[in-house]
Amino acid sequence: MSEHGTCAVCGSEIPGPFSGGHCNSCHQGFNSNYADGLHRRGEYGNPKNPRRCLTPDEMRERGMSLNTRGLWVSKALRPESLTEIQGANSSGVQDDL
């Protein structure tokens, strides 16, 4: 047993604690803790603004997208930043594939 593995409920891969996470509520995977945080709305114990997860459609509306591993990323989808990211990580991307 380890913290890394698959979700017992949905069977998805769970990224490590410092490389994102897997939501126990909506069972989406996230490429970073920041992206994980972005998909949560509201506050615990606040009936006017209850804690909940964004749906995939709502996440896309906020500029989030799925990466090649099927994990949500928080990047703004500006063409120039995508080019930068792909150029900077080209070797890493190939390793992932």
Rule CB under 5 A: choose which of 2, 9, 80, 94 binds Zn ion.
Answer: 9
Nearer to Zn ion, 42 or 90 (CB): 42
6 is a site residue for Zn ion (CB under 5 A)? no
CA torsion sign for 4, 31, 65, 93 is negative
71 is a site residue for Zn ion (CB under 5 A)? no
Nearer to Zn ion, 45 or 79 (CB): 45
Token pair 């991307």: residue: 93
E strand map for 1-97 = 5-6, 13-14, 21-22, 29-30, 40-41, 52-53, 65-66, 72-73
Q: Write out the binding residues for Zn ion, residues 11-30 only, by CB under 5 A.
A: 12, 23, 25-27
- Cα 2 to Cα 93: distance, rounded to the nearest angstrom: 26
Nearer to Zn ion, 49 or 91 (CB): 49
Q: Which residues bind Zn ion (CB under 5 A)?
A: 7, 9-10, 12, 23, 25-27, 53
